[in-house]
Structure 1
């Protein structure tokens, strides 16, 4: 019998969010690579407000955790150098820490700092 692996579903990392979808925003996300639902994002401020996976070594704004991707960006959606409108959790939410996708090699201290950054926009990791 083959083993099946279930990936995260849309918003499965959410514990709670503000009513009327106040927690969500539709934003431009870098579509250069597939991303899992629950990927922690930063916002590139130069030249435009494009969201990308948290990048701790960056200096363009993506080093600051500010949102979480609601639904995956699948391999079929990937277009190098392009952006896609995707929904993110941007405020007023509780999320399951164990279901979030962090950058490879992130340390416990860096995760703690990123959680503090998310707390600034009222996203709390449980």
Structure 2
């Protein structure tokens, strides 16, 4: 018997968000590997594109800025995506890359980890 694990769906990490989807914005995501919903993202200072949060980086992505809403495929070019950027409650268990510093940075944007 084959057992398949279902991936995280778009927005599945959201527990609640502000009315009218004010919590979300369209964003530019840097070229790179495929990303799943719930991936924490930081803003690359030099390009204005988002990339996976990396606490060891020194390019801006060391600061968690938002959470990717839906999946993005691997790409050699910049991709358009949507992210939760403010006013939301999210499930800790469904986030990728979360640490204490990221949780603090997200809370400053009124994204509360539960």
Aligned-residue CA RMSD (Å)? 1.1
Contact 1:31 1:73 in 2 (8 A): no
Q: CA deviation at 1:17?
A: 0.5
Q: CA deviation at 1:102?
A: 1.1
Contact 1:54 1:65 in 2 (8 A): yes
Gaps of 5+ in 1: 104-110
For residues 66 and 40 of structure 1, what CA distance do their matches in structure 2 show?
7
Deviation string 1:59-106 (CA, Å, 9 cap, x unpaired) is: 1110000100000112xxx222x1111000000000000000117xxx
For residues 115 and 40 of structure 1, what CA distance do their matches in structure 2 show?
10
Contact 2:34 2:75 in 1 (8 A): no
Matching of residue 121 in structure 1 with residue 112 in structure 2: no
For residues 12 and 79 of structure 1, what CA distance do their matches in structure 2 show?
23
Contact 2:41 2:65 in 1 (8 A): yes
Give the structure-1-normalised TM-score.
Answer: 0.87
Runs of 4+ in structure 1 deviating by more than 2 angstroms, as ranges, are none
Gaps of 5+ in 2: none
Higher helix proportion, which one? 1
SS in 2 for 1:2: coil
User: Match of 2:93?
Assistant: 98
Deviation string 1:29-49 (CA, Å, 9 cap, x unpaired) is: 013110111000000111x21
User: Match of 1:83?
Assistant: 78
For residues 44 and 32 of structure 2, what CA distance do their matches in structure 1 show?
14
User: Match of 1:21?
Assistant: 21
